[in-house]
Amino acid sequence: MPPSNWPTPAPFWAWAAERYERDPQRWLALQAQGGNVNLALLLAWCDEVGRRAPPLHTLETAIAPLEALLQEFRALRRRLKPQLAASDYHALLQHELHLEREQQARLLAAAALSESGDVAPGQALAHYQLRHAQNNPGH
């Protein structure tokens, strides 16, 4: 761990992948409500280790440009899926995962430079999920 006690990108990627695989529908439901899965996983990590998460606006600002690109790329990949050979689709999926890893690295860098937010330790993910559920009541 670096001096800030935030995980480095590779261990966090492994931790996040393991948590995501436990219940992918949970994370996809949040994404369908407009939430960011990587941000949510960072908040889950904060909750798990008892750390007060950085303010959401700080984290969202850090990933906003890449989030727009990622959403466009994801939509393109899904749209092209029926037309692509499996190997070509896999290559697009691998590029999307590369963008996801970059987004996580940006989140970790922003978190390491940020002050703690005002959400109580252990409540960051629930706060984020509630915010998105309230903004998207039909989902």
Q: 0.85 cut: is pTM over it?
A: yes
Nearest to 53 by CA among 129, 135, 108: 108
Place of tokens 């750390």: 51
End-to-end CA distance of the chain: 38
82, burial (CB in 10 Å: exposed 0-12, middle 13-18, buried 19+): exposed
Task: Look at 134 and 92; give whichever has higher pLDDT.
Answer: 92
Confidence of residue 138 (pLDDT cuts 50, 70, 90): low
Dig out the tokens for 53 from the structure: 């998460």
Question: Does the pLDDT value for residue 2 go beyond 50?
Answer: no
Task: Give the model's pLDDT for residue 1.
Answer: 34
Cα–Cα distance for residue pair 75/73, rounded to 1 Å = 5
Nearest to 107 by CA among 48, 66, 50: 66
Question: Does the pLDDT value for residue 26 go beyond 90?
Answer: yes
Task: Give the model's pLDDT for residue 4.
Answer: 64
- Give all strands (DSSP E) within 32-114, no chain letters: none
Question: Does the pLDDT value for residue 137 go beyond 90?
Answer: no
pLDDT per residue over 38-94, tens digit each?
999 999 999 999 999 999 999 999 999 999 999 999 999 999 999 999 999 999 999
What's the whole-number mean pLDDT along residues 28-33?
Answer: 91
Averaged pLDDT score across all residues of the chain:
92
Confidence of residue 135 (pLDDT cuts 50, 70, 90): confident
